[in-house]
Homo-oligomer: A and B are copies of this chain.
Amino acid sequence: MIRARKKVKVSAPALADVARIAGVGSGTVSRVINGGKNVSPKTLAKVRAVMQELGYEPSFAARALKGAPSNTIGLIVPTVADPFFSSSAAAIQEVAGLHGTLVLLAASENDPRKEEQEVSALIRRRVDGMILAPSPGSSRTLLQHAAFPVVCFDRPMADASLTTVLADNYGGARVAVEHLVDRGYKRILCVGGYGGLLTSQKRFQAHKDVVREAGLPYLAELGAEDFVSTQSALLRHIRGADRVDAIFSTKNTTTVCIYKVLKELGVRIPGQIGLIGFDDFDLADVLDPPISVVRQPITRIATRAAELLFDEMDHRKPASAITTLDVELVLRGSC
């Protein structure tokens, strides 16, 4: 018969293991972990040696059970593949790092159902706080019981009054379209997509308001979600007698699509059609012509959101204000 193998520790070593091997009590090990006050140098050294040898790391789960913070915040964004949100994540992470905190990342894909599951997953992990860019149609049902602060960024949450940081979408879009008007453009087309997002709606509305106020015709293609739909949208407006003379694009990916389509068609920018986009993008200044845009202060938005979160976690600052950050008109050569 095979001898029963001596039971082998398969999981991570625990404080008790360290205590047993070092021949001390658990309290002593705890003291060593937490700075080593009130422990004799000799004991300290021995315990540290054992910890080292075992590769011991204290379990946050056990500490959490005693009420300690998780030193973790949650971040929910549609996807981290989008440069806007990856830049945001980087900025948020940096602020978190300054507070000794890690970021638990979740991608909602703008799906409120998925978002809700992720909120739940974060609550279960007892994060100390949460930053999210709410999906359209997301509700705060789960959040209202949350024992930690929550701040929204880029978009407000429909039915909740949460601390929120976002760009001045309406004002920024106004500045862009007004600039086109000032330059003398008469037929200004608004091209955009993702109409479910509040941010998009604000930009659409600003275009509409400005052209109306200027007595110009309202021209819009609001279903441009990808290259193909953008292309077909444009085709309806750049031929014939009633072709547009300028385009306001409400999103950087759309701006790039528009640029490509116009290039392919041999349309001169800004000679035949002027172009300005909402949101800056990486090579906007290198294209021919360099593209004029209104730029959101992405890093500042995200950093501010994170700072407000940590403020609330420290019980400083009143909650529930909306911070609107100004966008910047970056004139290059496309209009």
**What residues make up the interface of A, taking CB atoms closer than 8 Å to B?**
10-13, 54-55, 57-62, 64-65, 67, 70-72, 79-81, 83, 86-87, 89-90, 93-94, 97, 102-107, 118, 120-126, 142, 144-147, 256, 259-260, 263, 281-283, 286-288
Contact = CB atoms under 8 A, between A and B. Distances in A.
A10 B145 CA distance: 11
Contact of A104 (B86, B102, B107, B260): B102
Nearest to A114: B97
Contact of A93 (B103, B105, B144): B105
Contacts of A122: 102
21 contacts: A12-B126, A12-B145, A12-B147, A13-B145, A55-B142, A57-B124, A59-B64, A60-B61, A80-B80, A80-B93, A81-B87, A90-B107, A102-B118, A102-B121, A103-B104, A105-B105, A256-B286, A260-B286, A263-B286, A282-B282, A288-B288
How many copies of this chain does one complex carry? 2
A81 B91 CA distance: 8
A303 to B, nearest CB: 13
A54 to B, nearest CB: 7
Given A80-B86, A123-B57, A72 B12 contact: no
Pick the most buried of A79, A281, A283: most chain B CB atoms within 10 A of its CB. A283
A107 B93 contact: yes
A81 B86 contact: yes
B124 A58 contact: yes
Contact of A102 (B11, B125, B147, B281): B125
A80 B90 contact: yes
A183 B94 CA distance: 46
Given A81-B87, A94-B107, A105-B105, 12 more contacts: A12-B126, A55-B142, A59-B64, A60-B124, A61-B125, A81-B86, A81-B90, A86-B89, A102-B105, A256-B282, A256-B286, A283-B287
B80 A125 contact: no
B256 A126 contact: no
Contacts of A282: 256, 281-283
A46 to B, nearest CB: 19
